[in-house]
Structure 1
Amino acid sequence: MDSLIGTYECKTDAKGRVMLSSGLKKQMESVLHEGFVLKRSVFQSCLELYPMAEWNKVMGQVGKLNRFVKKNNDFIRLFTAGVKNVELDASGRLLLPKDLLVYSKITKEVVLSSAVSIIEIWDKELYEKAIDGAMDDFAELAEQVMGGLNTEEDELS
């Protein structure tokens, strides 16, 4: 699994379960059996679903931090706060734990949005507000983040 593509809308049931769309499950077919890690997002009021291999890469980086440096220790504690191992059930549903539902303000309508190799899980209304609010500055952001990158074609010109 190189990267995920797409944004999908679904609903939570009374127990906080969401059904992954068939398009998303198909993209993740090779990693479904490994399970996932679900955590709070660092920058937004949403959740992040990591395939286990992606989580292990991130934790490999985090594990290199010196825990005898207070800010590193504080970061690790906050980064891993509320982290849960999750799996799809036999019906292809993902249970979103109650504490993470409360954190993310997810009620009924949900957006699953690909973010390279993870999936962001949003309350639909909050997702739309985040996207709408960011669109005004997107051109400037794109230039700042991607404008300095050169492709091989640019280097040959």
Structure 2
Amino acid sequence: MLTGSHAINMDAKGRMAIPAKVRDSLATACAGRLVLTAHPDERCLLVYPEPQWDEVLANVQSLPNSNRAVRRVQRLLMGYATPVEMDSNGRIPVSPTLRSYAGLDKKLMLVGLGDKLELWSEDAWLALLDEPVDDELPDVMQSLSF
């Protein structure tokens, strides 16, 4: 289970160190093999343990690509997909292309979402938290108590 928000830094070579708590979970779940890709709706990256990515990839590939919106999602998710492996210090490289897509610089936020992580620039993450939410909660969430 990948949870929590972690303020981390990217080094000058475009590597980020995975926090120890998250690193341990990833070592168990996927032996440190991950896939980074573009989030199709927001300017951040999705970080999948390899087994979860394989499931997502199969689902995305099975969508009917005659629909323009589906093609966009396929292009972003599959087109930006980059396999990476944690090094012995728990670092992973983030390609210049992915850094550019998500506007990543030195200060980052790594956010756990259960089976995957999101990687945000710290500024974009803070701006997202300050955005008002105008959307109605879906019916499925009406019965949840937090």
Counterpart of 2:12?
14
Counterpart of 1:124?
122
Q: Is the 8 A contact 2:10 2:106 kept in 1?
A: yes
Q: Is the 8 A contact 1:32 1:88 kept in 2?
A: no
- Asked if 1:146 is matched to 2:141, the reply is yes
Equivalent residue runs for 1:1-157 within 5 Å: 3-33=1-31, 35-67=33-65, 69-71=66-68, 72-133=70-131, 136-137=132-133, 141-142=136-137, 144=139, 146-147=141-142
Point out 4+ residue stretches in structure 1 off by more than 6 angstroms: none
Map Cα deviations across residues 61-106 of structure 1 (whole Å, 9 max, x no partner): 1232244x25344542233122101110121101000111111111
- Compute the displacement of 1:57 (Å): 1.1
Higher helix share: 1
Measured in 1, the distance between the counterparts of 2:78 and 2:53 equals 11
More displaced, 54-63 or 106-115?
54-63
Unpaired runs of 5+ in structure 2?
none
Unpaired runs of 5+ in structure 1?
150-157
Measured in 1, the distance between the counterparts of 2:86 and 2:12 equals 17
Measured in 2, the distance between the counterparts of 1:23 and 1:62 equals 30
Measured in 2, the distance between the counterparts of 1:115 and 1:141 equals 21
Residue identity opposite 1:113 in structure 2: V
Measured in 2, the distance between the counterparts of 1:85 and 1:51 equals 10
- Compute the displacement of 1:144 (Å): 5.0
Measured in 1, the distance between the counterparts of 2:140 and 2:118 equals 20
Larger CA Rg, structure 1 vs 2: 1
| Aligned-residue RMSD, C-alpha | 2.3
